[in-house]
A and B are shown apart, each in its own frame.
Chain A
Amino acid sequence: MSGVPANVGPVSDDAVLVQADGLVKRFGDFEAVRGVDVKVHRGEAFGFLGPNGAGKSSTMRMIACTSPRTAGELRVLGLDPDRHGPEIRGRLGVVPQQDNLDNELTVRQNLQVYGRYFGLSRKQVRARATELLEFAQLSDRADDQVEPLSGGMKRRLTIARSLVNEPELLLLDEPTTGLDPQARHLLWDKLFRLKQQGVTLIVTTHYMDEAEQLCDRLVVMDNGRIVAEGSPAALIAEHSSREVLELRFPIDQQQPNVPLVQDLADRVEVLPDRLLLYATDGESVLAAANGRGVRPTSSLVRRATLEDVFLRLTGRTLVD
């Protein structure tokens, strides 16, 4: 893992790398981001969790200094993106939502061409490309064209490319969307390694498991606003019970059962195919419900997740 990132400069560990105050992005009449306040510290893995259209990507593009803000204050690496865009971009790594690789170049050329943009010499980019190919486990495909690679390989290459300049801050917009479970775990492993090396990560995702795995701290976004903020554990503790009892019923049978279980739980959510009962002890609630004659087709007791937090805060599930 030699030579991959952690360009930790002569700044103290609690340095603020990103600070946004009242950040707004408007597209014509549509307000995508409506006054967002965030602070990301060096070394942190910070997440934006929210459904599609919540304003995560717009926020990321403003931080990446590719999209000018409409209003509010923003400092990235202590600088104003409006005035120091190129300088800031030179110290960032960006993994966009959709891979924007050069499909007609080879894997290696993608890394080399991109590295040149950050002021590396031809010799430096050759060395750097070799290291990153290793990191992304793409060494044996180095001189193949990008086009026929699998989705997971292209994603790894995009991430490798974003590291070519040893960025201080890595922005990942939905890094694993569209990948199969195996490819996702491989990517998470890569991101963990980066985090351990001290690279500051900002991740957007609509997967709770991804947010829980990767993020030290996250904000939940909905409709362009931040609706909650904290560590995954703190958010669950604050906004949900410890356990959740899921009761599945045949179609349209869950509503008549609501009055029977209402008082057994702290809260009941009615989803199209099941009831969610929030309680400290799921098993005892299940026993009590059975005692009252509630007969679900199946039941499950699980620990609360960020999905439950999101459901509580917005009344909707994340991925629909």
Chain B
Amino acid sequence: MTTDRIGVRKTYKLFIGGAFPRSESGRSYPVRSASGEFLANAALASRKDVRDAVRAARAAVPKWSAATPYNRGQILYRIAEMLEGRRAQFVDEVALSEGGSDAARTVDAAVDRWVWYAGWADKIAQVYGGANPVAGPYFNVSTPEPCGVVGIVSPQASSLLGLVSVVAPAIVSGTTAVVLASEDRPLPAITLAEVLATSDLPGGVVNLLTGRVAETAPWLAAHMDVNALDLTGVTDAGLATELERAAAENLKRVLRPVQPDWFAEPAIDRMTALLETKTVWHPKGV
């Protein structure tokens, strides 16, 4: 006699320092599909989880920012390969989370976005830096450098493509990130974390938290060890202003909320917004 096999469900957890912990708070919240069915319980991240994630992101800075651009490019490309390999899974999950009939196109665009940014790793300095012809016997050259740790509120509606479109430009140049996933559609983000975890990306370069933006974002905005704040996914204008003000304390670079067409080819501004420019002078003379 045979019985129907019962499926094994996945526990959706946070992604911090390359590991998948539950929220230290022991809390979770129900995630529903676009049509309202229960999908899973996601971890409800706390202030402490934010701090743990920032610590992990900061710890990853020395190694990731010192990796050669060629190496970072290969790792981003590897992420594209891994994502493509799990294409069907992502199509299902994006379709459940976002509804509509665009899921396949969305996943394809997300893969291509990783490829697009992978190519920038060893090119952005050639487009955004260069020799400066100063009036004197000096060698003078400007090069972009990563800003450190960025806190990102990822897009709410576009749970995979939007997320990839804000994370890839941050990490490609050596910055590390603490990312608050789409609040109501967090599952593709955590599944993406499984891709990141198997792509030779060092632990801590990307840290993903699920939960309530209004609860966690203020801690991220006020954290003194965060160098930049990307508010792209903040939908409440009042909250965005409050976060920007909090970010002023240590003069974080701030990207304000936007809701672009994520399918359109990006410009380079998401990368350059998170880059410092360093200019080196050196005298010339025998």
Partners in one complex: no
